[in-house]
Chain A
Amino acid sequence: MKTFLPQYLPWVLLLPAAAIMLLVGAIPLGIVLHYSLHDIFTLGSRSWVGGQWYLDLLGSRRFYESLLRSLGFSALVICIQFPLGIAIALLTPRSGFVRTATLVLLALPLVVPWNMIPIIWLSLIDADTGLLGQAIAVLGVDFDHKFNAVHTWALIVAMDTWHWVGLVAILSYSGLASISPSHYQAAAIDQASRWQVFRWVQLPAMWRVLLMALLLRLIDSLMIYTEAFGINSGGPGTATAFLSLDLGEEMRGFDYGPAAARSVVYFAITSCVVWAFVRMASLSEPTR
């Protein structure tokens, strides 16, 4: 752009946003970094412990178990929600009432406050008053989300799919909606098969939004807290003790030093994922 505007103008325009991000992002991150190197007796009195909390965390078996559980959970929900979400998007009509109704349906669970979601699902599977719980009881299954680890996992995965499949489907749909009819006509002239249309016309159009959906879903599922905690507080035993649930436990126990070190490690994990995705987005554009 021609510079009849002062050079510093962009910085001035960015200043308010930068100030607020400093206040709620960068400074708190600095505080957490500071705490992670100290033993906090009270917030007023602390002593330097260096990398002790990090060594404790990274040397503990529990951390790797939780990391594996969280990775497993992420892999599971992504493997369910992406094929399902893409299929829903492909079946959604491009116009008309059904289109609007489907999109509204898909968006509904996204606007439910997160702590309401486990409350709603627990009432849904209640054996006496829940719609699903009564149905399961009729089928003769003894569903026990409190003490049966497989059932707890199934409930959390079903709940998470209910919560988030709409995001994947809506994003995929918005990618599909950007394809102009002429692309389909060209594919039809070339006598492309259904699969070829998907692979060479629809997938490239969805690529960027799918990458975005994958980033959001990966991080949100890796760091799932409110919803999983509401179902069974990490139990039975440690069967659903995901990464964030361990952090929540330390914070409730006022172990500020170790909790801060854990926070820094988790922030590093999410930042690495973001960095990897930005690299991936700029490197691997699929060929049309």
Chain B
Amino acid sequence: MRPGSLLRYVIGGIGFAALALFILAPFVQVVHLSVLSTLGTPEAPLGTYTTLNYRNIFASDALKSSLFNSVTYVVLNVCLTLLVALPAAYAISRFDFPGKRSVFIVMLAFRVTPPLVLALPVFILFSKLSMINTPVGIAVAHCLFNVPIAIWILESFMNTVPRAYDESAKLDGYSTTGFFVRFMIPVIAPGIGVAMFFCFIFSWVEVVFARTLTVTDGKPITMAISNLFGFQTDVGLVMAMTVFSLIPGLAMIFFVRHHIAKGFTVRA
């Protein structure tokens, strides 16, 4: 082993340990507090380890339903996003039409628009459409940033499929729809997976729309956690709920762990 590569090995090792410490410390904190009795009850005195916090989640209808609400709007959003983004991505990938460049810039502008800027008008508009207090409203609102992302990712995957592929299928007598369903979708399946991953994550972590659009009912998990803060906050319960709010994201990362780097490469 050359001295240079040994040095690199040592720096790499120290660097990795430091990174792991920095990233994991907050998570360790959450898990630790979530199994600690932070208010103190006869059953679990203050500061003892307990599963009480987790049992309290399942004893509370509000907390249970918030978990269900969050999962519902995220899944709805992913389905809706894919449904509208797939044809749009195909159009952008395969056709030249006037204004194509502007479409791209407009998408990017909406992708980065802070939800807070549009929260009020979206609330007013959705009140008129009776889409308040329901996971459907949140699922639709989250399309603001997820549709552009999905179109972008899907388009970059479609661009890698040669156009000759489309044409030969059409010469074989397949319609555009038939070609799309039978050939294009299987070929870009990894891209669809990547798009689903990002839409899921961005919808799951978003807070401003999710809160604004749920006033009395249909509250997401993030709102349910904030509501736990009060005069005497049960920190243990907050942290147990936080653990639940982390699980879907961690599960998604686990599924795509070998493709994380590939997934982030979206060609601008």
Contact = CB atoms under 8 A, between A and B. Distances in A.
Interface in B230-268: 235, 238-239, 242, 245-246, 248-250, 252-254, 257-258, 260-262, 264-268
B117 A267 contact: yes
B207 A113 contact: yes
A145 to B, nearest CB: 15
A31 B84 CA distance: 24
Contact of A102 (B19, B141, B265): B19
A60 B242 CA distance: 40
B208 A226 contact: yes
B198 to A, nearest CB: 10
B262 A174 contact: yes
B117 A247 contact: yes
A234 interface: no
A154 interface: no
B23 interface: yes
Contacts of A27: 121, 125
B185 interface: no
A111 B268 contact: no
B265 A178 contact: yes
Interface string A232-259: 0000000000001001100100001001
A25 B144 contact: yes
B97 A120 contact: no
Interface in B23-44: 23-30, 32-33, 38
A16 B87 contact: yes
A221 to B, nearest CB: 11
B261 A174 contact: yes
Contacts of A129: 33, 38, 235
Nearest to A176: B261
A93 B28 CA distance: 26
A216 interface: yes
B112 A170 contact: no
A24 B141 contact: yes
Interface centre among B28, B109, B167 (most CB of A within 10 A): B109
Interface string A179-221: 0000000000000000000000000000011011001100110
Given A28-B121, A105-B23, A108-B27, A119 B116 contact: no
A13 B87 CA distance: 5
Give the bracket for the number of chain A residues in contact with chain B: 35 or more
Interface residues of B, number: 96
Contacts of B62: none
Contacts of B125: 23, 27-28, 31
A259 to B, nearest CB: 7
Interface in B156-184: 163, 166-167, 170, 176
A124 B116 contact: no
Contacts, number: 260
Given A14-B103, A113-B222, A173 B113 contact: no
A111 B249 contact: yes
B257 A104 contact: yes
Interface centre among B92, B106, B116, B265 (most CB of A within 10 A): B116
A19 B262 CA distance: 31
Contacts of A271: 109
Interface string A100-132: 111111111111111110011101100001111
B87 A91 contact: no
A171 B120 contact: no
A80 interface: no
A103 B118 contact: no
B112 A105 contact: no
Contact of A212 (B11, B88, B141, B266): B266
Interface centre among A18, A107, A114 (most CB of B within 10 A): A107
B55 interface: no
A17 B151 CA distance: 9
Contacts of B122: 24, 28
B142 to A, nearest CB: 8
Interface string A253-288: 000100110010011001101110010010000000
A270 B204 CA distance: 23
Given A111-B248, A208-B268, A226-B207, 20 more contacts: A10-B95, A11-B91, A13-B87, A14-B92, A17-B147, A24-B141, A24-B143, A24-B144, A29-B121, A103-B261, A108-B250, A113-B207, A115-B225, A116-B245, A120-B30, A208-B267, A216-B112, A244-B116, A260-B121, A274-B112
